[in-house]
Structure 1
């Protein structure tokens, strides 16, 4: 009798276990676990390393690979350096590995060698134990002369920064999302000629991806520099990236147009995902800090390395972001004048950490500081705040 009862209990237990397993299996079919998908059209927002590895976290190390360009070298005098008057944009003449030299023809150019070396280095990511995510070459362009540059020259630095930069214009020029001046357009077209002089005939190390700040002066610089409107065959569509914006604050020339207006004005361009209709970053009363600019530059780079496979990338952005990108990858400080460009080789690699947060997650955006203005500061006088014609702007 006892054995019979025991066997019944065993059968009931086994039936319960089988039913539970079956129910769990059916639940996984009906309600599958949502997996985080890495979209190729996201460059801003949340650091992607947050979703890459549960448990022991992975951090992404980004570092400038020195020795390819003169701009990397400490002995290069940046005050006397002009990238467009320097041979090959500053590419250092050299022989790389013997394997590359043997595979290339005797008349191979320095750009042939450079491109072959970058492609060779990218083979490192095939060896998992090295933890290498890949190598990328960024061509960082700073926009040519825009109308806000002429405004600052006309009114003087103090009067401009504390009063006029907050206006929508002066009746002669419009400063909201400042566009290129005629001189600036000519400068961008000069960039096109310079680019063709160095790389146009060889088609080597040409950009496979075009990214731009959503400010008009950056987009127009990218268009004129690479003749995107008239190129045949048509190049890949350039993409507007929110985090490539200039440092945002009270300056109206750093506020962007609406999504609808940009889409109509720049039909060639795509937009990264979740690009908002109206400007989510610009404020009329506080400025972004350098730490915040560095934070979003790091997020942009993480997304670029984790979401895109392109190696050679042209980026039209601004002084503060270029400075932040160089700092983020350990490049020496190197000022980029208006209408100039700096090439940078960057290596991405993984390292593990027990810290529950990645390096980028330790910092936040939107730190603010007051601008040091006194008598000319319109923020201290509400009646002095400029009226912005949003209908015209949008």
Structure 2
């Protein structure tokens, strides 16, 4: 079942002062090189996860209608009204940031503990019993966590909108190319929407922190295409056959990951007219997304989800 964040999940969600400062410095340099860009901020008092008073270690989002404050109708009306009255340089979206369910690498990490994992096991592909690299699959628990989200989405759609139930369902889906995220999306959304119709887009920039950890090396493009295109998934243009970004001897910093996530969100807000969006990824990716969006840090357990109501303001003239 979907559980609260573990001690390891809490560790993965944390930002140091250096992480934030490095990202801010890198972002300033990037913005100076651009003719225009989106600045992101969180619209307050829409979801409980954004409130400072919400304890992320105890918060049970499935029992709290995913954290919505008030009714879904009120939040969606607010979204529609803000977009209808927005200037040419403003966009509002609700982003459902989902973490994949438990993968075999999560199981192994918990089995060996943080010290042994970081010192030895994360560079291996397995231990003779558990296989976690490259590109590990979901465990049975991970599959059930995603399916529990699906069951709750069906409840929300049926029972928590007074008018059109489909109003709260995302209209666009993005997903990491790692199998555990794609399989989580399938087990969450298949049956709520028609995946062949909505055609989730697989994107490199949504993936987990890259490098060193064998679990974060993706499968070849041909393997991903063979497994998932027949189910309705599309792969973004320019997606290389082999994982050209993964390195055995270098792992992205939090700031580098956040800058990559910023590029992804810039693209989404520029090219995606839909105002409710689902992004299925990883704990590190969600940490980076929350940093980029100006949201408080929030620990997310495997299979967890954080909705964020975002205002984006275009800076520049292009």
Q: Normalized against structure 1, the TM-score is what?
A: 0.67
Whether the 8 Å CA contact 1:213–1:244 is kept in 2: the answer is yes
CA drift of 1:200 comes to 4.6
For residue 145 of structure 2, the aligned residue among 180, 187, 202 is 187
| Aligned mate of 1:59, from 9, 32, 37 | 37
State the match for 1:219 in structure 2. Answer: 182
Deviation at 1:165, TM superposition (A): 1.5
Which of 66, 74, 79 is 1:113 aligned to?
A: 74
Query: Does residue 285 of the first structure (1) align with residue 249 of the second (2)?
Result: yes
> Which residue of 2 is the match for residue 152 of structure 1?
109
Q: 2:171 is matched with which residue: 196, 205, 208?
A: 208
Which residue number in structure 2 is paired with residue 342 of structure 1?
A: 306
CA deviation after TM superposition for structure 1 residue 48, in Å: 11
State how 1:1-394 maps to structure 2 within 5 Å.
57-86=35-64, 88-93=65-70, 110-125=71-86, 127-128=87-88, 131-132=89-90, 134-175=91-132, 176-200=134-158, 202-227=165-190, 231-232=193-194, 234-267=196-229, 268-352=232-316
Higher helix share: 2
CA separation in 2, counterparts of 1:350 and 1:174?
Answer: 45
Deviations 1:98-117 (A, max 9, x none): xxxxxxxxxxxx21222122
1:50 deviates by 6.6
Instruction: Provide the rounded CA distance (Å) in 2 between the counterparts of 1:177 and 1:186.
Output: 19
- How many angstroms does 1:167 deviate by? 1.4
The Cα offsets for residues 145-173 of structure 1, whole Å up to 9 and x where unpaired, read as: 11011111222222222222111222322
For the residue of structure 1 that corresponds to 2:298, the secondary structure is coil
Determine the C-alpha separation between the residues in 2 that align with 1:238 and 1:173.
30
Moved runs in structure 1, 4+ residues, more than 3 A?
47-51, 230-235
Give the Cα–Cα distance (whole angstroms) in 1 for the partners of residues 155 and 258 of structure 2.
33
Name which one, 1 or 2, has greater alpha-carbon Rg: 1
Mapped partners of 1:79, 1:155: distance in 2? 22
**TM-aligned CA distance change 1:49 to 1:205, over 3 Å:** farther
1: distance between equivalents of 2:117 and 2:72?
43
**1:49 to 1:185, Cα distance in 2 relative to 1, 3 A:** farther
Question: 5+ unaligned residues in a row in structure 1: which ranges?
Answer: 1-46, 52-56, 94-109, 359-394
Task: Report the Cα distance in structure 2 between the residues aligned to 1:221 and 1:172, rounded to whole angstroms.
Answer: 23
The whole-number CA distance in structure 2 between the counterparts of 1:232 and 1:209 is: 12
Cα deviation, 1:250-308, whole Å, max 9, x if unaligned, reads: 11110000000000011221011101111121111121101101101111110000111
Is the 8 Å Cα contact of residues 196 and 233 (structure 2) preserved in structure 1?
no
Task: Give the count of matched residue pairs.
Answer: 281
- Deviation readout 1:215-243 (Å, 9 max, x if unpaired): 00000010000116x95584410110101
Quote the Cα distance in structure 2 between the aligned partners of 1:49 and 1:71. Answer: 32
The structural deviation recorded for 1:179 is 0.7
Separation in 2, partners of 1:123, 1:83: 29
1:48/1:306 contact within 8 Å kept: no
Q: 1:49 to 1:223 in 2, by over 3 A?
A: farther
Inter-partner Cα distance in structure 1 for 2:195 and 2:131 = 35
3-state SS in 1 of match to 2:80: helix
Shift in Å, 1:69: 0.8
**How large is the RMSD of aligned CA atoms in angstroms?**
2.2
Q: 2:17 maps to which residue? A: none
